[in-house]
Amino acid sequence: MAIKPTPPSPARDKVRATVPKLIDLTEKVLFGDVWERPGLSKRDRSLITCAALVALNRTEQLKGHLERALNNGVTPDEIGELITHLAFYGGWPVAMSSALVAKDVLEHHKK
């Protein structure tokens, strides 16, 4: 399978000089191969990724993936349901932290 280039990311660009191989793998393997596999839609991959990031309390990564999820067809209501559902599996504090991130992303996305 040909590797598709992934668009640049300000977050990746911040650390590119420090961890160039990590960024290379992120762009070529993660976003160039894994996200392009035909077994799941990008929408489904976004839901899965956001759920994992919420449950693991990875709020720094969650922001970018919520933006990607919206671009992949996940609705704001579905993001709210995802976070609410995970409050019972990942914990209330994790859900509340994720809700704050989602609030900012959704407000910015409306503009």
Number of domains in the chain: 2
19 and 46 assigned to the same domain: no
Range of the domain at 90: 40-110
Q: Which of 77, 67, 81, 69 is nearest to 111 (CA)?
A: 67
Does any domain span residue 1?
no
24 and 50 assigned to the same domain: no
pLDDT tens, position by position, 83-103: 999 999 999 999 999 999 999
59 and 103 assigned to the same domain: yes
Are 43 and 78 in contact by the 8 Å Cβ rule? The answer is no
CATH number at residue 100: 1.20.1290.10
33 and 45 assigned to the same domain: no
Cα–Cα distance, 51 to 60 (Å, whole number):
14
Q: What is the pTM (predicted TM-score) of this model?
A: 0.88
In the structure, what pLDDT confidence band is assigned to residue 17 with cuts at 50, 70 and 90?
A: very high
pLDDT at res. 4: 53
3-state secondary structure string, 72-95?
Answer: CCCCHHHHHHHHHHHHHHHCHHHH
